[in-house]
Amino acid sequence: MIGFLQQAITGLMIGSLYALVGVAVVLVYKSTHVVSLAHGQLVAFGALFFWLFFGGLGIPFWISLIPAFVLTALMGLLIERLALRPLIGQPLFAAFFMTFAIFIVLEGIFVLYLKGESRALPAFLPTGNIEIYGISMPINQLISFFVAILLFIALSLIFRYTKVGLGMRATAEDHRLAQSAGVNVRNIFSYIWILSAIVAAIAGIATANVMDIYYMLPYIGINGLIVAICGGLDSLPGALIVGLFLGVVENVGAGYLDPIVGGGVKDVAAYVVLLLVLLIRPYGLFGLVRIERI
């Protein structure tokens, strides 16, 4: 039992990072209806930018965060401006493939820069373990878990209670109607990409805290996409719940099945979950309730 709980809790920690990336993808989908693959790279580059300043130049942690966020946000903004804005009014499929192309191009740059090596971030969170009821939890993962939860709460509050949040929700529903109500939809798109890029960067930095920065990092972002799709693409709580769940499934599944099948369960667990969810509920687990008037 303790073994199971231990694995589940470790899964929750990892899952919170998936959830963050999922939230970033949901943010973009909600208001622009573009399903973005590019966020996988934003995660990776967020971590890389942070490494450049923190690990490379040795600038203190809090100060390094600023350029890392700014650069990632800029990247998000440029993707929106240069690649996606010209596609407004084109089929959404075109936009999706555009993000796919961006993913591949950035992947190339990422690998080219790292030359197949990996970069390890110096530890910036307190190390060690806390033990509660016989379950040990690494402090640094615990911290990133709570950061993820706090960030999620903050985003929900922004969406619900601020004017920009209201504009974002209005834009999500109907671009033309939002424009006719005086919402500057183009600006909203820019804000959304900046915001989601920063969320992705945070996820990337938190991930780099527990694993090295290497060519597989962007694929954490793909897990985020899976999370978003399973959660229904337009539901923030959906992304959170599915993200945590996915982390647990991966970890517990690996714990029990790896000895039997000989490893690799972690890598397929997410896709198996996606497959099952799409079979049972093709529109995702959560998602907005479609309003039918009778």
Partner 1 sequence: MLNLNNIEVIYSDVILVLKGVSLDVMEGKIVALLGANGAGKTTALKAISGLLKTELGKVTDGNIEFGGKIIDQKSPEEIVRLGIVQVMEGRPLFEQLTVEENIKVGAYSRSDTIEIKKDMENVYQYFPILTGMRHRVSGYLSGGERQMLVMGRGLMASPKLMLLDEPSLGLSPSMVKEIFKIIELINRENNTSILLVEQNAFAALSISEHAYVMENGRIVLDGLSSKLKENEDIKEFYLGLSQVGKRKSYKEVKHYKRRKRWLS
- Interacting residues with partner 1 (CB under 8 A): 89, 163, 166-167, 169-170, 172-185, 288, 291, 293
Closest distance between partner 1 and the C-beta of residue 170, in Å? Answer: 5
127/180 with CB nearer partner 1: 180
Closest distance between partner 1 and the C-beta of residue 158, in Å? Answer: 14
Q: How far is CA 181 from CA 28, 34, 174, 184, 264, in A?
A: 21, 22, 11, 9, 52
CA 51 to CA 49: how far, in whole Å?
5
Closest distance between partner 1 and the C-beta of residue 90, in Å? Answer: 12
33/119 with CB nearer partner 1: 33
118/184 with CB nearer partner 1: 184
Closest distance between partner 1 and the C-beta of residue 288, in Å? Answer: 6
115/176 with CB nearer partner 1: 176
177/261 with CB nearer partner 1: 177
What tokens were used for 73? 């946000």
116/182 with CB nearer partner 1: 182
Closest distance between partner 1 and the C-beta of residue 239, in Å? Answer: 17
Closest distance between partner 1 and the C-beta of residue 242, in Å? Answer: 20
